[in-house]
Amino acid sequence: MNKTFNTIGLIGKPNHAGANATLKKLDSFLDALGYEVLIEQRVGFDMGVPEHRLVELVDLGRQCDLAIVVGGDGNMLGAARVLSRFDVAVIGVNRGNLGFLTDLDPHNFEAALEQVLAGQYRQETRFLLEVEVYRHEKLKSSNSAVNEAVLHADKVAHMIEFEAFINDDFVFSQKSDGLIVCTPTGSTAYSLSGGGPILTPELNAMALVPMFPHTLSSRPLVVDADNEIRLKLSLENDDNLQISCDSHIVLAVMPGDEVVIKKGDKPLRLIHPKDYSYYNVLRQKLNWGSRLY
């Protein structure tokens, strides 16, 4: 019988007893089904896996058809920024809190995963943001983000001043605590806490969400994701600034710098069980009301 996937990579949350237990269970389950299983080396050492099956995350992306991430959304984000470079499908086992990106139950994943392995799954692509910092027209640093890029000061509740452009068209100047630029994936994360809109995953859109702006007329703005967003930092800012990517990676920004945020070239291939429904996830995670009839 032809297999949809041949080589499967396991990625987990380091030094987490629950995640390790699930990884061991997954390893045994997949081995019994005859799959070649590689394990990301940081968690593989804790599991006592033979060294020839341990690989770095980049090599896992190169060699595997499917990657299974065990942990919370944070673990999925960290893995996704790397795995999106490769043609590898990604699915998550929830060992975190909310779990917007991790579908499978860590205690009862077998039936759903068997369906996925048999080719019965839903697939979607989620685009990432590419974030670049320029100083005197020279690229100083860059990185990617699955959820959002956030411009902010390195101090809490510290107002900054900047201008925003879209495709070189001036949009607004603003004094605020910062600005969130999010993808549809990130619209249910930090942006949602800041009053941003929920963008369904299939939308080719980004949201710009001001953080505590010094005006009542400032509102979130949704734009086509094929646009390029440029933020120009005022020279009047008197402190060091930052661009945070998914709250994991921080790029330093100085007064006068320009930040370019645009859609990345390589999307993440995210797969779900056949019965997955995005709206069901929203109802569960956000405690929306169930059907009346």
CATH of the domain at 58: 3.40.50.10330
Residue 1 belongs to some domain of the structure: no
Query: Do residues 208 and 226 both lie within one domain?
Result: yes
Residue 185 belongs to some domain of the structure: yes
Residue 293 belongs to some domain of the structure: no
* 236 annotated binding-site participant: no
Strand partners, 93: 70, 104
Q: Which domain holds residue 62?
A: 7-120+274-286
For residues 6 and 204, give the distance between their C-alpha atoms in angstroms, rounded to a whole number. Answer: 32
CATH of the domain at 137: 2.60.200.30
- Reading phi first (left if > 0) and then psi (alpha if -120 to 50, else beta), residue 219 is in beta
For residues 13 and 155, give the distance between their C-alpha atoms in angstroms, rounded to a whole number. Answer: 29
| Residue 73 bears catalytic tag | yes
Which of the following is catalytic: 31, 59, 73, 103? 73
List per-residue pLDDT tens for the chain, 293 residues long: 468 899 999 999 888 888 899 999 999 999 999 999 999 998 888 788 888 899 999 999 999 999 999 998 899 999 999 999 998 999 999 987 777 898 999 989 999 999 999 999 999 999 999 999 999 999 999 999 999 999 999 877 789 999 999 999 999 999 999 999 999 999 999 999 999 999 999 999 999 999 999 888 899 999 999 999 999 999 998 878 999 999 999 999 999 999 999 999 999 999 999 999 999 999 998 999 888 88
Q: What is the pTM of this model?
A: 0.94
Take residue 5 and report the two structure tokens written for it: 């996937």
* 139 annotated binding-site participant: no
* 175 annotated binding-site participant: yes
Count of the separate structural domains present in the chain: 2
Query: Do residues 137 and 253 both lie within one domain?
Result: yes
* 190 annotated binding-site participant: yes
* 188 annotated binding-site participant: yes
Predicted confidence at residue 1, as pLDDT, reads 47
* 224 annotated binding-site participant: no
Q: 98, exposed or middle or buried, with CB in 10 Å at 0-12, 13-18, 19+?
A: middle
Query: Do residues 166 and 208 both lie within one domain?
Result: yes
